[in-house]
Chains A and B, each alone.
Chain A
Amino acid sequence: MKQRPSTFPITLGELARIQPLASAAGVHVADPSRPVEQVVLAETFERLRRATPHSLVVLHREAATGGWSLATALHLAWERNLPAVVAPAGASPASAALAQRLKMSLLLIDADPVDVALRLAGQVEVPAAARALRQALFAERLADQTGIRGILGVLNSELETVPVALLVGDAVVAGRTAAVHEGPGVTRVEVEVQGPGRRPWARLVAAVPANGAGAGEQVESLLWLARPSLQAAWAHTRLDSSTHAAHEQAAFGLLRRLAVERSDAGPVDPAEVDTPSWSSELGWQVDAANRAVWLAPLHASGAPSEERTHLIRAAWQRSHATWPLIAEADGWISWHSSTDPDDVAPLRQAIAGFRDSAAAHGLVIGIGRAHQGVPGLMRSLAEARLAAHVAREGGPASVQWFDQVGAPAALAWLPIAEIAQVADLCLADLMGARDRDALVHTVLAVLDCGGSLSQASQRLGVHRNTVLARLARARQLGLTYDDPGQRLALHVLCYALATLWDASQSPMP
């Protein structure tokens, strides 16, 4: 916490936070940001008439006999531009109505007015001491809170006229959104909240009205005070990772259903699907352009185990703690949201950082294109998934951007292993041949090149006659590639066998 004793006059709101005024009944509090420069113990109305502006007046004896005297005191306070009137308890509803009408703060106390005035005078004289006391009380209230929303609630109730919000990126995670709105005469106070490893995680933002001189400083010190509690609350939610994972999974399920329901009703305008508020509670951002990431195991092996999810999460969130990670049937989902759809730098950075872990866990990474809003996220997700399948060809830790995939992605869905088994049964002769690898690759090249022997020989790097010889031998072994009825089937078969053998030759983790 910063220790900068302020010499700005204390405000009415600050005084009302600490004793003796903390126990006063606020019949009407017009403007808590009014500065209090002096305390006047008014025993007579004559004294009240001589009060200088910005003096808090405590009524006493003759001036505090209630009824008309309170009405007169309120009027004089209004005339003298005083911030508030403190009177002994027992004001009638009419006095409250008058205070409201004159926009004059009226506080009622049970204690002896002289005592109250003396204590107030001390507080006004040394605002730093009063502020320290207020901060101590505030810290006590903070200590009672364990949740992020609770902490923001305490902050907002403490600061009253100053809205405070917690921002992750540009999204308001908790607090009052009014804190983010820029307006004339509003100063913005920001305090960075760090996540694990001292990496920036979020920002506390407060919009301080300009009329409260010195308020910014005070607000900032309160925001600083709230920081450790926020970090603790955040860590607390992350510690319970299985709950958090389940929470994220459920939330994502809801999000997906939301997108589906909307698209069932007709073509979806991304702007029409409102982002549900609970998504921001998790720190998610889905409003802007979303680019999905699909982390998939190299070999599909059913739903990922909880332990594995935990390890992947730790690795993935090392650089971006707020990015979600949701376990799905055949991989993990994450996404990056940004107002600029072309902004891929954070994602590239994150993937570069994740590469080692991806290799260690035998993962491939598919990345979708950027699309707006919740429906956009779902679309990007489908793209990422497809890209991940394509990436499997490249072996562990390979990254595939959907932008670069196109139609060949269809091949990624072929059940290579099953097709290869078909070959074992139907083309037993071929499979038994020692040069089957060369034969299959040659037939594949010829089919790929539309029957052109010269192109195929160029691609394979062998002589045209060699190609011809291999084709003849292949035909003898059952690879009748020139039979129109079998060409597609054999083309697919050759592709499957070639892919499978290529993969088995590449080093396994």
Chain B
Amino acid sequence: MSESGYVGAIASIGVEDVQALYEGAKFYSPAVGDAGRASLTSWLAGLLERNGPVPLRRVEAMDPDTPCVSVCVIGSGSALADLPPVGDEFESAIRQIERLSGVRFGAVYPLAAATVSALVPVVAASQLGVPLLDADGMGRTYALIHHTAMDLAGVPVTPLVAQGPTGESVLIEVLAAPRADRLLRANVDTLGGWAALAAYPTTAGVLRRAALPGTVSRIVNVGRLLLERMDPDLLITRLGAITGCSRVGRGRIVELEHLSRPSDVTIPAHPSSLVVDETGGLGRQLRIELRSEIVAVFADGALVAAAPDLLCLLDVSRGELATLDSLEPGALVDVLVTPADAVWYSPEGTRMVGLGSHGIPLDHPRRR
């Protein structure tokens, strides 16, 4: 079931899948560091050992009337490492929505199957004793909680509950989805810097058209590949088979530019621009624009890949993904581009998470 090299949908997530889940989740959000890795993975592994593997179900396999809820972590990753979860945050957040709506959720699904938010739905499902849906709302991570396929499909984000590690919680109900994120952000600091979020309560029938299918098993498969530590060229070929990713170019980092353009407050303190001199091929100059993630790659000034594409760097010498805070001049990297789920290339999706939302007023290379 968890054999190495297995590609395809999987039926459950057990202890042995935890590391792969974590690695795969990292691939889909390369900006995040490894600060809370050990505590989270051992917590999840312990739960799975105690409660047994969590069944992973395709949305179509569920009764359409099954009430479902999504969970994720909001706030800062370093706060999560500083103030680790007590353990009941996710369960408690879900129970509050159940009490409010008078339903009993029959399944949990990830709001975004990436970063630690890919692990916590497994935690919640294990604690609640319900199956986990093999689907999510983003297929990677985006900055705001209404940047989801559910929102695009008209599923309301609220009622939502944010439960902090200190036992306090916030319940939010809004009329317009973008307001939810603003209200939530105002409270996250007070809740402890991070919070467990339960949102988008709906049914499996709605999720059949509103969620992105197969994303959880995909990250497990990606994670298995990444754990194998193979030659970068082979790795990219194999990753391509699962994720459709391809290499933009391989080159050496020659320059890190800070704040190449006026920033707004939501941009974290990452270097905002990275220049890579292509070592093979045409010897192009690759300019990589960073926000909280890689949002665009320019080759000799021409835009070749951009959000909502998932862009990441593979450290060639180590054969592993390079996180954005580990970059330094001289490193040899492969620039990988992975297409996002199709919904993000629709006009609505592009408006929501495209380059324009990062302050780069250029058309996506696929649209030109």
Contact = CB atoms under 8 A, between A and B. Distances in A.
A71 B255 CA distance: 14
A150 B303 CA distance: 49
B174 interface: no
Nearest to B282: A101
B254 interface: yes
Interface string A69-80: 101111110100
Nearest to A93: B255
Interface string A127-162: 000000000000000000000000000000000000
A45 interface: yes
A277 interface: no
A100 to B, nearest CB: 10
B65 interface: no
Interface in B266-294: 272-273, 275, 285, 287, 289
A44 interface: yes
Contacts of B262: 65
Contacts of A311: none
A94 B285 contact: yes
A67 B258 CA distance: 9
B260 A98 contact: no
B347 interface: no
Nearest to A75: B301
B290 to A, nearest CB: 10
Contact of B362 (A65, A72, A74): A72
Given A44-B361, A45-B362, A68-B360, A92 B257 contact: yes
Interface in A34-83: 44-45, 62, 65-69, 71-76, 78
A80 B302 CA distance: 13
Given A45-B361, A75-B301, A75-B302, A67 B272 contact: yes
Contact of B261 (A66, A92, A98, A101): A66
Interface in B230-256: 254-255
B303 A72 contact: yes
A68 B361 contact: no
B60 interface: no
A250 interface: no
A72 B302 CA distance: 6
A97 B361 CA distance: 24
Contacts of A71: 285, 287, 298, 300-301
A413 B347 CA distance: 108
A67 B288 CA distance: 10
A102 interface: yes
Contact of B287 (A44, A65, A67, A78): A67
Contacts, number: 64
B301 A67 contact: no
Contacts of B260: 65-68, 92
B296 interface: yes
Contact of B301 (A62, A65, A78, A93): A78
B289 A98 contact: no
Nearest to A100: B285
The A interface is mostly helix, strand or loop, or mixed, namely helix
Contact of B273 (A62, A68, A78): A68
Contact of A75 (B254, B275, B298, B360): B298
Interface string B290-325: 000000101011110000000000000000000000
Contacts of A101: 285, 300
Interface in A449-494: none
Contact of A94 (B275, B289, B296, B303): B275
A59 to B, nearest CB: 13
Contact of A102 (B257, B300, B361): B300
Contacts of A93: 255
A94 B301 contact: no
Given A44-B361, A94-B257, A67 B303 contact: no
Contacts of A67: 257, 260-261, 272-273, 287, 289
B287 A68 contact: yes
Contacts of A76: 301
A98 B254 contact: no
A94 B256 CA distance: 10
Contacts of B255: 92-94
A98 B257 CA distance: 15
B98 to A, nearest CB: 47
Contacts of B289: 67-68
Contacts of A97: 285
Given A67-B257, A72-B362, A102 B301 contact: yes
A169 B254 CA distance: 55
Nearest to B273: A67
Interface in A74-127: 74-76, 78, 92-94, 97-98, 101-102
29 contacts: A44-B361, A45-B361, A65-B260, A65-B262, A66-B261, A67-B261, A67-B272, A67-B273, A68-B260, A68-B360, A69-B261, A71-B287, A71-B300, A72-B301, A72-B362, A73-B301, A74-B301, A75-B302, A92-B255, A92-B257, A92-B273, A92-B275, A93-B255, A94-B287, A97-B285, A98-B285, A98-B287, A101-B285, A102-B300
Interface of A: 44-45, 62, 65-69, 71-76, 78, 92-94, 97-98, 101-102
Given A68-B273, A72-B303, A92-B260, 13 more contacts: A45-B362, A67-B260, A68-B260, A68-B287, A71-B298, A71-B301, A72-B298, A72-B302, A73-B301, A76-B301, A78-B301, A94-B275, A98-B285
Q: Which 5 pairs of residues, A with B, have the shortest CB-CB distance?
A: A67-B260, A75-B301, A94-B275, A71-B301, A65-B261
